[in-house]
């Protein structure tokens, strides 16, 4: 009798999980017909020249992360969540990208950044160089440098920008401008003697010297720009934030000095100063904080995050002598990663807000927007959870092996592996809803690894249909460059019948914006 009551109760609860409209077959038929009509409209291909390019990059944003973020977004809106749409879900074209490095089945962020920015696959740990370069070996670098889509855009007369919530010398943004046999050579203080003697340059120096006319650079990691032991402007009494440069150079001053006469270059290190700038009087901007992420005890509850604020601000920056119209806003790359699943997914929702902002401020007639990831993580969620189950909640069952509950979100490996009294930790005895909770993992590691599966590529705008099916990751910048008539593949640009983008008073943006958790 007791078992029968439990079954009946479960059936009643299951029935209540289904919204009334979803019980009607006509709801699903109507939804499918609407989707079909939208798909048929895509037969009229947008073959305009892309005046603007926006690349949103989510570091570690695998498909499972995208799905979980979609559910969280809906639940933050007091909905069940599964039926929600992320902004990237609304992009009409979707592809898969193969992320392996030339020497690694499961990739790192340096080799993948070289692929989706420079258009060639590379070895893990190397940035902006071909697979002919061996990690840590400076003497293999010469002649193996490869240029990025940022360089192609700059050569094509476009204004360019990099915005990141990690250090600007991190592997992901640095592939846009640097060439290094080691992604960790942030300043000369991190380089071995043989690399210095061999003439290799650190990444921070390359940021200032390789492409000195990048209009917008916003990120973190300012200690790599200043002489060793120089006090930090914001944290003067903390040794870990002191400068690291052995050559005693002040690269911020060098960045200023490299600007053409008559141009105004502004350096800021605080959000307050960034937002106070008079945009009509700025030609170049360098903004560096210790780390540009804003601490969020309750993610999503404190108004505009850095990503959205930076996205809308940088979209307004334009050469002051080019007129008074506003340029097309660059979008944002966003990098949710790590084993703090709650923080990562809330940040993914904030990425969604930034994508939505860029979508509202641009037109698909002249702006190609692409959202993708460099790689995935060993993040998953399952456990036969019912409809509307809190994404950070428990599965509705216990393990049939150790008789303990488990959260829906789990990792394949990482520091979440915990043994208590010889057994798996009982998650009901800890605050698994806390922002800093590390989800349980199957294999103990001090740091969770990347995942090796394909990542999604979402595209909207001119020539977005070129991103389809399954591609090598290095194909992405070639398709974007073709759409914008930059780089080496431009024979089609004057072809009869291909509409050109309307001339703009302002230099258009190629926006390389990185937002890292």
**If you ran DSSP here, which 8-state letter would residue 508 be given?**
P
Does the residue 78 lie in any domain? yes
Please check whether residues 140 and 158 belong to one and the same domain: yes
247 marked as binding residue: no
Q: Which residues contact 112 (CB under 8 A, 6 or more apart)?
A: 99, 101, 374, 375, 473
**If you ran DSSP here, which 8-state letter would residue 24 be given?**
S
291 marked as binding residue: no
Question: Could you give the count of Cα atoms lying within 13 Å of 45 in the half-sphere of its Cβ?
Answer: 11
Q: Encode pLDDT of 370-399 as tens digits.
A: 999 999 999 999 999 999 999 999 999 999
Structural domain boundaries, residue 440: 394-444
pLDDT at 292: 56
pLDDT at 158: 92
List strand residue ranges (DSSP E) for 30-74, in order: 52-58
Does the residue 263 lie in any domain? yes
Tokens representing 91? 């992009």
431 marked as binding residue: no
Give the C-alpha separation, 136 to 129, whole Å: 12
CATH number for 179? 3.40.720.10
Q: Which residues are the active-site residues? A: 109
Please check whether residues 286 and 398 belong to one and the same domain: no
Which pLDDT band, with edges at 50, 70 and 90, does 487 fall under?
Answer: very high
Percent over 70 (pLDDT), the chain? 83
Give the C-alpha separation, 406 to 393, whole Å: 9
Does the residue 514 lie in any domain? no
170 marked as binding residue: yes
Number of domains forming the structure of the chain: 2
Please check whether residues 410 and 487 belong to one and the same domain: no
According to the per-residue pLDDT averaged within each range, which of 358-362, 403-407, 496-500 is highest? 403-407
CB 335, CB 111: distance < 8 Å: no
Around Cβ 251, how many Cβ atoms within 10 Å?
24
């Amino acid at each position: 009798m007791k078992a029968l009551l439990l079954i009946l109760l479960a059936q009643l609860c299951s029935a209540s999980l289904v919204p009334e409209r979803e019980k009607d077959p006509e709801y699903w038929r109507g939804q499918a017909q609407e989707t079909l009509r939208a798909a048929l409209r895509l037969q009229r291909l947008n073959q305009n020249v892309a005046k603007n390019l926006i690349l949103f990059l989510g570091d570690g944003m695998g498909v499972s992360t995208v799905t979980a973020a979609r559910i969280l977004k809906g639940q933050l809106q007091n909905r069940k969540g599964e039926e929600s749409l992320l902004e990237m879900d609304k992009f009409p074209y979707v592809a898969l990208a193969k992320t392996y490095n030339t020497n690694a089945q499961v990739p790192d962020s340096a080799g993948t950044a070289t692929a989706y920015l420079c258009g060639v696959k590379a070895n893990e740990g190397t940035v902006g160089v071909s697979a002919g370069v061996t990690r840590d070996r400076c003497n293999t670098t010469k002649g193996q440098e490869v240029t990025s889509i940022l360089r192609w855009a700059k050569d094509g007369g476009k204004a360019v920008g990099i915005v990141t919530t990690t250090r600007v010398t991190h592997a992901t943004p640095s592939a846009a401008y640097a060439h290094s046999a080691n992604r960790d050579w942030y300043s000369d203080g991190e380089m071995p003697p043989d690399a210095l003697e061999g003439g290799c340059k650190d990444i921070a120096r390359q940021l200032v010297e390789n492409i000195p006319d990048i209009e917008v650079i916003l990120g973190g990691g300012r200690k790599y720009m200043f002489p060793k032991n120089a006090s930090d402007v914001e944290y003067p009494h903390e040794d870990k934030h002191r400068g690291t440069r052995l050559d005693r150079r002040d690269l911020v001053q060098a960045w200023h000095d490299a600007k053409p006469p008559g141009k105004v270059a502004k350096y800021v290190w605080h959000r307050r100063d960034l937002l106070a700038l008079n945009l009509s009087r700025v030609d170049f901007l360098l903004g560096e904080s210790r780390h540009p992420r804003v601490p969020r005890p309750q993610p999503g509850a404190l108004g505009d995050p850095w990503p959205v604020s930076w996205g809308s601000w940088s979209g307004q920056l334009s050469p002051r002598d080019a007129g008074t119209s506003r340029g097309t806003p660059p979008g944002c790359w966003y990098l949710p990663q790590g084993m703090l699943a709650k923080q990562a997914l809330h940040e993914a929702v904030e990425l969604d807000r930034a994508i939505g902002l860029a979508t509202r401020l641009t037109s698909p007639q002249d702006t190609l927007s692409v959202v993708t990831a460099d790689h995935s993580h060993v993040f998953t969620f399952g456990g036969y959870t019912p409809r509307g189950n809190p994404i950070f909640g428990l599965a509705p069952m216990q393990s049939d092996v150790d008789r303990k509950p488990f959260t829906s979100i789990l990792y394949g490996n990482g520091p979440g592996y915990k043994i208590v009294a010889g057994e798996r930790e009982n998650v009901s005895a800890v605050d698994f809803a806390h922002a800093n909770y590390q989800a349980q993992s199957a294999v103990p590691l001090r740091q969770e690894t990347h995942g090796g599966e394909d990542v999604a590529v979402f595209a909207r705008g001119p020539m977005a249909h070129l991103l389809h099916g399954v591609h090598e990751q290095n194909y992405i910048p070639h398709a974007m460059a073709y759409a914008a008539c930059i780089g080496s593949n431009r024979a089609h640009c004057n072809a009869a019948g291909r509409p050109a983008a309307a001339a703009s008073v302002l230099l258009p943006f190629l926006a390389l914006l990185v937002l890292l958790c």
